[in-house]
Amino acid sequence: MNLPNKLTILRVIMIPFFVVFMYLDFAAAKWIALGIFIAAAITDTLDGQIARRCNLVTTFGKFMDPLADKLLVCSAMIALVDQGRIPAWIVIIIIAREFIISGFRLIAAEKGVVIAAGIWGKLKTVVQMVMVCFLIGNLGGKVIFVIEQVLIYAALVLTIISLIDYLISNKNVLKD
């Protein structure tokens, strides 16, 4: 197993620890959760860069990297819904997109096609991760509140755009 795939697996392993700290009730818990989330997000950036730079792109990585991202971000957003930091309906749309794309990838895989993440999906993931960091930090103040709201709705819009782009770009997968 190569380094990028190990980083992807590390990101998946970090998720339960992140979730536990999201729910622990002591002053530093949210900061520890935020630190774990940021460290996991950094592994996402590193695994992709290393895989492309060192020609270590694998089928495993093409499938697991986006799945690890989805698990991390969706876990965070569900916890943030529970904490009243983000509306549930937005998270439902975001998670629905992830299920649709995952199903689409399964159809593609059945046909022997591996579909890597596109630019809109990558941008969506970055905005979602930044949004989650702001929401976990919960710094308060009017300016931060506006930034949080902009990030929430930007993540929502990018989620929809990336879904449409993904389906249009890969519509040949649905042809029989």
CATH number at residue 89: 1.20.120.1760
Q: Provide the pLDDT for residue 176.
A: 67
Residues 112-149: pLDDT tens digits? 777 767 899 889 989 999 999 999 999 999 999 999 99
Alpha carbon distance 64, 48 (integer Å): 11
Alpha carbon distance 98, 154 (integer Å): 16
Q: Determine the distance from the C-alpha atom of residue 160 to the mean position of all C-alpha atoms in its chain, rounded to a whole number.
A: 14
Q: Provide the pLDDT for residue 29.
A: 96
pLDDT band at 161 (very low <50, low <70, confident <90, very high): very high
Could you identify the residue written with the tokens 């935020």?
34
Residues 9-64: pLDDT tens digits? 999 999 999 999 999 999 899 999 999 999 999 998 899 889 889 999 888 887 78
Q: Provide the pLDDT for residue 117.
A: 72
Shortest CA distance to 24 belongs to which of 102, 16, 158, 167? 16
> Are the CB atoms for 12 and 65 separated by under 8 Å?
no
Burial 96-128 (b: 16+ CB within 10 A, else e): ebbeebeebbeebeeeeeebebeebbbebbebb
Say how many domains are in the chain: 1
Residues 93-112: pLDDT tens digits? 999 999 998 888 888 878 87
Burial class from Cβ neighbours inside 10 Å (0-12, 13-18, 19+) for residue 39 reads middle
> Are the CB atoms for 127 and 67 separated by under 8 Å?
no
Q: Provide the pLDDT for residue 169.
A: 85
- Torsion angles phi and psi, residue 86, rounded to 5: -145, 140
Which residues span the domain enclosing 66? 3-174
Q: Provide the pLDDT for residue 66.
A: 82
Degrees to nearest 5, angle at CA 162 with 158 and 166:
180
